Amino acid sequence: MNKIRGDGEIRVGVYVCHCGTNIAGRVNIKEVVEFASKLPYVVVAREYKYMCSDPGQELIKNDIKELKLNRIVVASCSPHLHEHTFRKACEDAGLNPFNFQMANIREHVSWVTKDSKEATEKAKAMVRAAVYRVVFHESLERKSQEIHPDVLVIGGGIAGISASLVLADAGKKVYLVEREPSIGGHMAKFDKTFPTLDCASCILTPKMTQVKDHPNIELFTYSEVEEVDGYVGNFTVKIRKRARYVDIEKCVGCYECIEACVYKEGKFPDEFNEGLSKRKPIYIPFPQAVPLAAVIDPATCIQFLSGKCKRTCQQACERGAIDFNMRDEIVEVKVGAIIVATGFKTFDPSRIPQYGYDRYPNVYTALEVERLVNSSGPTGGEIILRDGRRPQSVGIIHCVGSRDKNYNIWCSRVCCMYSLKLAHLIKERTNAEVYCFYIDMRTPGKGYEEFYHKLMEEGVHFIRGKVAEVTDWAVTPEEEGKLIIRVEDTLIGVVRRIPVDMVVLAVGLEPRTDADEIRRLLNISCSKEGWFLERHPKLAPVATFTDGIFIAGACQGPKDIPDTVAQAEAAAAQALALIDRKRIELEPNTAWIDEEKCSGCHICIGLCPYSAISYNEEKKIAVINEALCKGCGVCVAACPSKAAQQRLFLDEQLYAEIEGALL
Amino acid sequence: MNNNNNKFEPKILGIFCNWCTYLAADLAGVSRMDYPANIRIVRTMCSGRVDPQFIFWGFKNGADGILIGGCHPGDCHYIEGNYKTLRRYLLLKRVLKEIGINEKRLRLEWISASEGEKLQRVVREFTEEIRSLGPITEDRAFKLNLIEHKK
């Protein structure tokens, strides 16, 4: 370390955090402090039990004032956690917050190193790297940028609806984008909700109507987000409004067109009823749909397939809402924050062939049964088998595709409870014998365990054991014509055969198949399973690592309705807190060109992914537009004459840090 | 592992991008996944910020191995910084070979924020590999004193 910046005497303070025993339990703090105090320019080195606590920060503030410190190093946790805290402490004491550097000796040292001696040596190196680096730090100014006050919500399920309503009620303009023809998501398909047995649509429909009627919400159904550009406070979003071939402004949902369709009966699997009923090419997804407007599916409509339809639907519509010439439309909106609430998909049980789904007609998924018990469903709420019989016995198999390393390792969290709910509804409507096959009963929630007890009293049979297979191979006369569930009852230690008429598979929750595309679109992270990753699992559950983008609901992980709503409203509050600040301060880590050094070689210009660098013909040098620069530093690494530099990541800072880490 | 090298503890420099690999290292910590203490981590905003000279500077300052960590292709926070890293990396490997530093001492890995386990595995593997290669001062570049090792 032979050259330093010439802005007066450099006085470094080093603060080593114990983090209780998180760091001190592995790293010899005394030794690190002793070592730090001997490093060049270090005026004081101290230790404290919790540096991030108020007294910890006071320690730094007092030293800055009393010892005239002008550089601060805190050796503690990850800068992603507390860099902001300590920068703020510096600022409070009158020191420019960028004269600060953090050494990560918890996540990167004490928590990952078994040997105490090795951990101490590594911690010393990390502290030395930070001290060497901080010497080259300089006072910087944060630039601030105006925040666009509108918000985009992606996904119109209960999460997206809840988040949109909170924001809209707070007076913010919300763009809600849903890919299906109606909002409502999975919840709209349910009959009752656990454990209160509220009617799902009775509590959801008013909210859906509120969304439609709210002056602050602009609803895009049958639409998808195609492009997201920009950054926190200033996103530009392109939304593709898919052609619906029905003008939703004109359509009143009278069903005349559907009646008039050349298909007398429905012919194509109805997505909303999980394929249990048939729909026509022109249809309204369900009676409470919002918007209540028909949609034409071009993949099944004769007019689109052959161009030779009599177009009876168009003739039937008095209001002239049907327009076969409609085209996809791209709408561009500007927003300050984005809430992602794209939800989940259910596990496909045909992946477990031994459970017989798709092989035996009377094996159903739970979501199919939800439609069967729903009074607006394909059977009007009657629980009947595919051949029209009423089941006399029903087996519900828990954990299908969940808690199984062959499929999904995680617990899907809602299956126990929705299985109990279905068990209750089936028993109530058909008086059938109901068997629940469970591995563990997981009912942690308000009123959930009580609901489980209620079902035991109702006479549902609970059998603990993972089901081996569902078969129709009868060995005794009473098994004839039935489905036989083979299972080891682990409470009594025998293998049992239970004959039933109907099998319900409690399928687990999975990330959506296109989660990866959404993730890339928004530049956020996924866990390795495919759930969107929150900034911190405990303390920042709705924020992501990309500022201005929040996540809510089951796209973040399996969740029931109360948790989804709570998280959605939390995401809305976070977005509100962001946009109500009006202006946002940006990290000053942008790049600039040293005019004297630039030879005008053009190398950096083509490298910049944001087209932030241009060529000044007059001066024959490159120029960086700092408003466009996002601070990646690609140009800095490539500049052959070292004319391009990046604030907070100057060459000399990184050289010093590397040297310090290795010595 | 060579028994003669048992006492040699390699120094490894990790240069990780802020958005993926640095977070993977944080995750490995939170999940208490232990790995050799030989690696010292320096953070840049993007792996594309890794100036080729950082690599030479690292080796000159005693790194026996250098691990660059970035986001998976297509996942870069800055759209395509990691592609530029990859191009530079491939060139750097050739240059290292030319000047007499074993090219295996430099490694580039794509490790996403959720891949704590991959980080642990890569650091373990790389540490063992460098251990078997021996100290960098054994490489021809240092023996021939082509690069001044001691200041």
* Contact state of A79 with B41 under an 8 Å Cβ cutoff: no
Interface contact A589, partner B, CB < 8 A: yes
Interface contact B63, partner A, CB < 8 A: yes
Beta sheet of A234-241, edge-to-edge order = A223-231, A234-241, A329-335
What average pLDDT does this structure show over A64-90? 96
Q: What is the mean pLDDT of chain A?
A: 95
Q: Which residues of B touch A651 (CB under 8 A)?
A: 51
Q: Which residues of B touch A118 (CB under 8 A)?
A: 37
Chain A 107-166, CB below 8 Å of chain B: which residues?
A: 107-109, 111-115, 118-119, 121-122, 125-126, 129
CB A17 within 8 A of CB A75: yes
Closest CA to A573 of A207, A170, A156: A170
Per-residue pLDDT at A157 exceeds 50? yes
Model pLDDT, residue B151: 46
Model pLDDT, residue A396: 98
A495-515 pLDDT tens trace: 999 999 999 999 999 999 999
Interface contact A607, partner B, CB < 8 A: yes
Interface contact B75, partner A, CB < 8 A: yes
Catalogue the E-assigned strands of A255-361. Answer: 268-269, 278-279, 282-283, 295-296, 329-335, 337-340, 344-346
What average pLDDT does this structure show over A118-138? 97
Model pLDDT, residue B3: 45
Model pLDDT, residue B148: 57
Model pLDDT, residue A93: 97
What average pLDDT does this structure show over A621-647? 94
Which of A652, A658, A659 should be substituted to probe chain B, the one whose Cβ sees the most B Cβ atoms within 10 Å? Answer: A658
Q: Please report, in tens digits, the pLDDT of each residue of chain B (151 residues total).
A: 344 445 799 999 999 999 999 999 999 999 999 999 999 999 999 999 999 999 999 999 999 999 999 999 988 989 899 999 999 999 999 999 999 999 999 999 999 999 999 999 999 999 999 999 999 999 988 877 655 544 4
Closest chain B residue to A520, measured at CA: B75
Residue B14 CB neighbour total at 10 angstroms: 27
pLDDT band at A5 (very low <50, low <70, confident <90, very high): low
Token digits of residue A572: 């809305």
Model pLDDT, residue A545: 87
Chain B 25-54, CB below 8 Å of chain A: which residues?
A: 25-26, 28-30, 32-35, 37, 40-46, 48-52, 54
Using CA atoms, how far apart are residues A561 and A567, in angstroms rounded to an integer? 10
What average pLDDT does this structure show over A364-376? 95
A267-320 pLDDT tens trace: 999 999 999 999 999 999 999 999 999 999 999 999 999 999 999 999 999 999
pLDDT band at A328 (very low <50, low <70, confident <90, very high): very high
CA distance B120 to chain A (A): 9
Model pLDDT, residue B105: 97
B35-75 pLDDT tens trace: 999 999 999 999 999 999 999 999 999 999 999 999 999 88
What angle do the packed helices A79-92 and A54-66 form, to 10 degrees? 50
Q: CB contacts < 8 Å between A and B, how many?
A: 138
Alpha helix (H) residue ranges in A508-629: 515-522, 561-579, 603-607
Mean pLDDT check: name the lowest of A64-73, A157-166, A516-525. A516-525
Model pLDDT, residue B140: 87
Interface contact A50, partner B, CB < 8 A: no
Using CA atoms, how far apart are residues A340 and A567, in angstroms rounded to an integer? 11
Interface contact A19, partner B, CB < 8 A: no
ipTM above 0.90, yes or no: yes
What average pLDDT does this structure show over A597-608? 95
CA distance B134 to chain A (A): 16
A187-215 pLDDT tens trace: 999 999 999 999 999 999 999 999 999 99
What average pLDDT does this structure show over A579-599? 93
Interface contact B91, partner A, CB < 8 A: no
Interface contact A633, partner B, CB < 8 A: yes
Q: What secondary structure does DSSP assign to A51-66, as a single string? A: TTSHHHHHHHHHHHHH
Which DSSP letter does residue A106 get?
A: I
Model pLDDT, residue B7: 75
Q: Which amino acid is at A177?
A: V
Closest chain A residue to B73, measured at CA: A520
